[in-house]
């Protein structure tokens, strides 16, 4: 029987070495899995870095576009204000001559018809008031064209993007 035990003992030793080989193989596959995970993490970090660089470039280009829009609006506003000032001067000079002549003629006709200085003056003052009101509204419209609405809209989009 001892012979049998001795012959069986070596059979068990190869099983133990196979178990050790399995453990070594598992350790190797675990190491391989860790290497895989590390490689994937590094690749993802590289993708994140590339995306952040792309976002940075897009942000810079949007900022440059906002600057260009602000410059264009500044030029348009300057032109609008210059035209408004020129129109006010020309309009004022022309209106003074035309309106003054018209009021003199109308005042003379009203005084001839009513023979009342009070009625004539009241009618002329009311006409003058209507003209000034019209001028004020026209000037308000022209000046409302000057502004930076598109620049503010671009900056709001750039700085306060909805998420």
pLDDT in tens, 63-90: 898 889 888 888 888 888 899 889 889 8
What are all long-range contacts of 62-67, with beta carbons under 8 Å and residues at least 24 apart? 62/154, 62/157, 62/158, 63/158, 65/154, 66/151, 66/154, 66/155, 66/158
Distances (CA, A) of 53 to 3, 43, 64, 66, 160: 76, 15, 17, 20, 20
| pLDDT above 70: residue 7 | no
pTM of the model: 0.39
Residue 120 CB neighbours (<10 A): 19
Handedness of CA 115, 119, 122, 128 (dihedral sign): negative
Length of the chain in residues, anyone?
163
Q: Which of 73, 92, 102, 93 is nearest to 139 (CA)?
A: 92
Question: Residue 163's pLDDT is what?
Answer: 52
Question: 27: pLDDT confidence band, cut at 50, 70 and 90?
Answer: low
Q: What is the pLDDT of residues 90-144, one digit of tens each?
A: 878 987 898 889 889 999 999 999 999 999 999 999 998 998 899 889 888 887 7
């Amino acid at each position: 029987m001892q012979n049998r035990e001795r012959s069986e003992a070596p059979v068990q030793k190869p099983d133990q070495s196979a178990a050790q080989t399995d453990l070594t193989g598992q350790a190797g596959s675990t190491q391989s899995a860790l290497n895989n995970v590390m490689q994937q993490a590094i690749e993802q970090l590289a993708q994140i870095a590339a995306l952040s660089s792309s976002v940075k470039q897009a942000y810079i280009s949007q900022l440059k576009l906002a600057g260009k829009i602000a410059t264009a609006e500044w030029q348009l506003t300057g032109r609008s204000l210059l035209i408004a000032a020129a129109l006010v001067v020309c309009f004022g000079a022309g209106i003074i001559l035309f309106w003054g002549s018209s009021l003199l003629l109308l005042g003379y006709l009203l005084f001839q018809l009513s023979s009342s200085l009070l009625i004539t003056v009241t009618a002329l003052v009311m006409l003058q008031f209507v003209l000034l009101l019209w001028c004020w509204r026209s000037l308000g419209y022209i000046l409302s064209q000057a502004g930076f609405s598109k620049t503010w809209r671009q900056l709001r989009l750039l700085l306060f993007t909805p998420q």
